[in-house]
Structure 1
């Protein structure tokens, strides 16, 4: 355990997959957690599951690519708690399996709006509150696709490269305020909606699904959402108190740098 009892954490894209695993881990660490997502049914199911574990959980329906919605969700979350978040995890994201030859301008724009603008919107609103207080932790969920261009992933790679750059820039800008900003870079993670969608798209294009590429991973298995959640819990703890601007690989050895 990382001594996070009493902290207040927001997790975006928290209704399932990696986001839900992060929220669940932070609950186990003693945090009050606000789940943000655009999927109302899954959001309620996640809330009910965590509440059964005795967690203090609130939910807000929000599209983080919309600054107005994001601002209202943050105001409501602060009202729920009576205080600003101590921890903010930017996990909401989408992606397409497409190259420059078949990516549509609309899909590219939507990916950038959710992944990049969504991360900006949340940080734009929450970072000043953390700076005023003199402490806080922001974790952005990037990807190993943000460290090396990958085939058939034009928009997704562009967005995740951008998130790593934003993490480094914010880490430098906010360091003297007591606010730390880091990122996690998941590899091939099973049991997520994005993984299911990517595998369906890959198959439709004659490409192999993730399970058929498992043998390429040095640790011999696909990642689990909980693998990512454990690293997030570490990054927002004082155990990582001398880390900022870092982008940590969680890839089973598939990517190293």
Structure 2
């Protein structure tokens, strides 16, 4: 049931304007999942229900799509399946140890490597079963096997996957998630996230997005904004 403000005759204007909206296909960023990617998603989602990885992956998919829009030379048939599958390997790590891999002041590099290897194996199985071309599978698997631990990018497709993965942390959902993970205030979470995102992105487009997300996160924590309710 839509909220009252979303009912055409109960909005602030008091009129139904829906007939005057443009075709979504003409507006960037409004198309959602490609049908071929939804097939991959449905095979992967059972592996993503660990520490909000399912929501993280969905948002990262949207960010990867935006980055591909800005880099038309990228191969979406590599980037999009790779971002969907990149964190499936966390399903093979004991859930109680997942946050140990990335916690401030510590970290378990062995667990980071393990989730990459396990994710590569899961991606191989899923994409082979779905009939993806072997050359595409090989590139996707290489991207997943090193998406966190590898500090250099293999090429543009890898750069976009890495950037989309990191950019999620600066989104409102990402900040809320990190706050819950580590018991941080919003400003504290933003500081931690910023230290792990800015300076670690590969593309100009992603760096620009990161600045915009960071500006929103910062204002969300100011007295001026919070006083507004």
Q: Which TM-score band applies after superposition, normalised by the shorter structure?
A: 0.3 to 0.5
Name whichever structure is richer in strand by fraction: 1
**Which protein has greater RCO, CA pairs closer than 8 Å, 6+ apart?**
1
Structure with max Cα Rg: 2
